[in-house]
Amino acid sequence: MADIAGVRVLYTGDYSREEDCHLCAAEILQFSPDICVIESTYGVQLHQPRNVREKRFTDVIHSTISQGGRVLIPAFALGRAQ
């Protein structure tokens, strides 16, 4: 958080309150910024539970490989690449 001319400004990148196998869930800290800027790529999206998405993902990979195919996973961000 930065104090700019007496105004408390908080800027944060995208975060998640959901813990996964690579990152801890974001903590809720006790502070009161006057201005809060938050990146929110999927802030209003509703997703299936992680275990359902992971199973669907791995099922497609297993199916492709078992049929002699190859799998290439293009990813542009930490959470998508892991």
> For the whole model, what pTM was predicted?
0.52
Summarize pLDDT for 24-69 with one digit per residue, the tens. 777 777 888 999 888 777 666 777 888 898 899 999 999 999 999 9
CB neighbour list of residue 34: distance below 8 Å, 6 or more residues apart:
7, 8, 9
Summarize pLDDT for 59-73 with one digit per residue, the tens. 999 999 999 999 998
